[in-house]
Amino acid sequence: MSFIEQDKNVIAPLYGKADIEIVKGEGSYLFDSKGDKYLDFVAGIAVNALGHQNKSIKEAVVKQMDCFNHISNLYVNMPQVELGKKLLEITGFDKAFFCNSGTEANEGAIKFARKYFDRKGEANRQKIITFVNSFHGRTFAALSATGQPALRQGFGNMPGDFVHVAWNDCAALKSEVNKDTCAIMLESLAAEGGVMTLSAEMVETINSLQKEFGVLVIVDEVQAGCGRLGTFLGFEKYGLNPDLVTLAKGIGGGLPLGGVLLRQKIADELKAGDHGTTFGGNPIACAAGLAVVNQIDAALMKNVVERGAQIRTALADIKAKYSFIKEIRGEGLIVGLALDESMPVGNVVAAARAEKLMVLSAKGNVLRMLPCLNVSAAEVDEAMAKLAKAFEAVAK
């Protein structure tokens, strides 16, 4: 029986999966059990920031496994300290907390924000404002924060005091924020929700509400962070000044790793025992994380900006040929192509796969591309040629 069939028998049916069996990855390529070679513009949903089989990550992981795999957070974990130091140095934040995933990072940030006000004697400040179509994860509080009601359907009561306002709707945001608000939580670029960028007015509104009401700003950099927009953290592009930042996806280079970066004023209100995790900041994951962060340098950021521009130029040519392509979206190497309802994005994803190009979708009938950050110019050319063929096939 093929693994595709076995998967249906064994694994809970929570995903729609492609009918291929991947056996190997190398850089920007994936190989399947039939010997077919795919150009990977999904990168494990923005996880494989440096492609498959990155040599430094591999070496760091093996080196750490020669010491120990795990010791718990009851003892000082040197790879965790090294990674934390590096992140604080790059970002200017004051403290780091490590966990295993994006949703846990957001749970942590939400708890830290509420605890901060509780310790300051303002326990009433619980309300957290997030955005319609945002995505913050699948555990209960992160799901409550997520601005997609369909994902909450059938799961019963959610943690309360989460309010969703429309993306880039400054007036709606202003009307919700007051001195009883705990936090405004947003992605620096709403990727799952349809590859939506922040308006300059929205950034200004958030910054002024933060000053006026002392409301905390939590930026979810799980997908857009770690260099994907051409800056280490996505919000640097737009000029936000968050109190808490969450990381995951790209930071582990393929290993499960998440994190929260905190300003000192928040760290000052936290005590031992307030929050915790057994696996969080696992030494192997942190060793891999350090190898990732050490490779996110100026040259890589230049590549992100240039390859992003190269993709957008090629997409403009494709867009000119098809009236069902509405808009090119995104920033750096989060690229979106919004389609009208006459062309279901799933058809394009399947046609691209038939051309041996992996791409994915985002909410609102948007085609999404998340190549690894070290993708080459030749690989982008190859991907765009494959995508052009996929559009020819679906438009017939």
Ligand X SMILES: *Cc1c(COP(=O)(O)O)cnc(C)c1O
Among 27, 79, 102, 194, binds ligand X (CB under 6 A): 102
Helix H segments across the chain? 3-10, 43-46, 55-65, 78-91, 102-119, 140-145, 170-176, 200-213, 264-267, 283-295, 298-321, 345-354, 377-395
Beta carbon nearer to ligand X, 83 or 343: 83
Residues paired with 336 in a beta bridge:
329, 368
Report the site for ligand X in 114-153 (rule: CB under 6 A): 135-137
Beta carbon nearer to ligand X, 196 or 248: 248
Strands 216-220 and 360-362 come out as unpaired
State how far the Cα of 169 lies from the Cα of 174, in Å rounded to an integer: 9
Q: Does 197 bind ligand X (CB under 6 A)?
A: no
Report the site for ligand X in 328-387 (rule: CB under 6 A): none
Among 28, 54, 77, 103, binds ligand X (CB under 6 A): 103
Spell out, one character per residue from 68 to 87, where the chain touches ligand X: x when CB under 6 A holds, - when not. Answer: --------------------
Q: Does 220 bind ligand X (CB under 6 A)?
A: yes
Beta carbon nearer to ligand X, 99 or 384: 99
**What residue number has its CB nearest to ligand X?**
102
Tokens of 261: 């970066």
State how far the Cα of 55 lies from the Cα of 64, in Å rounded to an integer: 14
Q: CB neighbours of 170 closer than 8 A, spacing ≥ 6?
A: 199, 201, 202, 205
> 285 and 80 in contact (C-beta within 8 Å)?
no
Number of residues forming the site for ligand X (CB under 6 A): 15
**Backbone angles phi and psi of 259, in degrees to 5:** -160, 160
Beta carbon nearer to ligand X, 60 or 257: 257
Q: Does 43 bind ligand X (CB under 6 A)?
A: no
Among 40, 107, 187, 355, binds ligand X (CB under 6 A): 187
Whole-number minimum distance, CB 20 to ligand X, in Å? 22
Query: What residues make contact with ligand X under the rule CB under 6 A?
Result: 101-103, 106, 135-137, 187, 191-192, 220, 222-223, 248-249
